[in-house]
Structure 1
């Protein structure tokens, strides 16, 4: 048993927390910015932490073995995670997982620039001597998004990612044969729980790779689950590279960082986000590694066929 700290427990974090609690192996503390009355999670201890105060964080991290960060990279410029990393070193934390949980590279995603700042900080503090073991848990796209309204995750909100489930239509760059990684949230949770118990050294690049397939194949999964053929709108890649989304529609996007924005600002962000995501797909940034797959070779990941059957059950 070790002490695990989960920082900024949001929707994805709640899925992981449920998995850690269900394992019954570890002491789990939640580092949150505020008290959430009536939202206490059985099997955990919630501590209100100041993510700008390294001394406060270090005090709360005393005795912690592993920190899992879910700090919102869209709204935080990196300050909170850098403070969390430095406090972890001061407190003697052994392992740290920064707030990744998405693509392998963020070159086309300026709103996630803080992820690269955090990655560099982790590299820098370990340059001379390893002071903090870490892994970048990268999962690609949650396969669960392909199920649309049938999605059965407990905490993660429904998201479209280029697919308008309500309108039965989808956007693709060019021919739609660009590849990306889809990983079911249950597999992400199971691998993270196993990683906490892993006795070897965490890999720096921590890809969790469920299925790597084309966007077109992902759309076919959504079609099978919905029982409806989708209308596919192919977009010109040169337009996308110029930052222009010339589509007849823009799928809805739900993310905690933009829920409180006014409608005009939110619409602008969503359009820019999809333009950037399409280019990330074109340039191969959405395919993640399989480092954790190789560490746990006997673990069976959910494939498309199993995911479809489970979604329809």
Structure 2
């Protein structure tokens, strides 16, 4: 078993068996000292709050000095950031990792990309202890959805439990990590999702309206991420919904399956079975 350091990701309840240490991301010597003896670093630093991506860049630099073998930047979502301006930092961190390895491999890394959490389709019910339920453009509780005219987007949905299991197995995997670390629990079209269970009330929106920043729908997102203040959440809900719709139309949520191929023995939770279990007996 290798030693792992998890950076960030402390917004929820504490996890038993984990040793915590506060670090100063602007103090390289402090970071290097904290990472001594560490094999793998998993970053969950909040990209939106990391001005200039300095915290992650400093973490990468310190990891190299400390002799860390593997690094996973704060990805944990889509295969791209098209239409999602709040995640542009992910692309910049990826470029930084490419640069540190441009003259030869200095630090192994992978971009863990599981798509959307399948758990979000259970909102408002909580299906994972450390994940807060969030709304999406497909609302199973109220049987309503917002779709883009002419775009039957392909989406990847993976449960949080499956992601955790795959990451744990990936850490112990002795081969080389793929740079793009796609994790594909379920790859489905929007129309296939809307066929599950009772009929949905559909709001159709136009791509050109979304690109102009206009959301012409009868409802919007209601639940915000716990990392945001109430004021930030209110201002971001429209932006997030527009961005999620746009990015889905541009293929950002159709992830690849590199880790499925590396770990073929793992069986992923399937969307219809998961949703049937969540919503059985509920209105």
TM class, shorter-chain normalised?
over 0.9
1:240 alignment counterpart: 210
Matched, 1:300 2:275: no
Q: Does 1:62 align with 2:36?
A: yes
Task: Provide the residue aligned with 1:22 in structure 2.
Answer: none
Query: 1:217, 1:76 → 2: CA distance?
Result: 37
Q: Which runs of 5+ in 2 are unaligned?
A: none
1:3 aligns with 2:7: no
Alpha carbons 1:206, 1:291 under 8 Å: kept = yes
Unaligned ranges ≥5, structure 1: 15-38
- Structure 1 residues 121 and 252: alpha-carbon distance in aligned structure 2, compared to 1, 3 A threshold: same
Cα deviation code 1:187-246 (max 9, x no counterpart): 10110010011000000000000111112333444xx3xxx5331101111111222211
CA distance in 2, matches of 1:74, 1:253: 18
CA contact (8 A) 2:183 2:259 kept: yes
SS at match of 2:89: helix
Work out whether 1:255 is the aligned partner of 2:225.
Answer: yes
The residue aligned with 1:280 is 247
Q: Which residue of 2 aligns with 1:45?
A: 19
Relative distance call for 1:130 and 1:199 in structure 2 (3 A) is: same
Q: Deviations over 1:277-308 (max 9, x none)?
A: 11101111111110000001121111123212
- 2:120 aligned to 113, 121, 145, which one? 145
User: TM-score, normalised to structure 1's length?
Assistant: 0.84
Greater shift, 166-175 or 118-127, is seen at: 166-175
User: Aligned to 1:46, what secondary structure does the other structure show?
Assistant: coil
Partner residue, 2:184 = 209
CA distance in 2, matches of 1:159, 1:144: 9
Counterpart residue number, 1:18: none
Query: Which residue among 157, 172, 181 is the counterpart of 1:182?
Result: 157
Greater CA drift, 292-301 or 265-274: 265-274
Q: Distance in 1 between matches of 2:254 and 2:171?
A: 24
Distance 1:56 1:310 in 2: 47
Is the Cα contact below 8 Å between 1:176 and 1:216 reproduced in 2?
no
Residue 158 of structure 1 deviates from its aligned partner by: 0.7
Q: Could you tell me how far apart the structure 2 residues matched to 1:169 and 1:45 are? A: 43
For 1:50 and 1:219, locate their aligned partners in 2 and report how far apart those are by CA, in whole Å: 47
SS at 2:19 equivalent: strand
Contact kept, 8 Å, 1:172 with 1:232, in 2: the verdict is yes
Find the residue that maps to 2:204 and give its secondary structure: strand
Q: 1:7-156 maps to which residues of 2 (within 5 A)? A: 7-10=7-10, 40-77=14-51, 78-156=53-131
Instruction: After TM superposition, give the deviation of residue 70 of structure 1 in Å.
Output: 0.4
Could you give the per-residue CA deviations for residues 71-102 of structure 1, whole angstroms, max 9, x where no partner exists?
01122131111111001001000000000001
Q: For residues 150 and 216 of structure 1, do their structure 2 counterparts lie closer, same or farther at Cα, with a shift above 3 Å needed?
A: farther
d(CA) in 2 for partners of 1:111, 1:55: 30
* Equivalent-residue separation in structure 2 for 1:203 and 1:97 (angstroms): 11
Provide the residue aligned with 2:278 in structure 1: 311
Other-structure match for 1:160: 135
Picking from 168, 173, 176, the partner of 2:148 is 173
| 1:253 Cα offset (Å) | 3.2
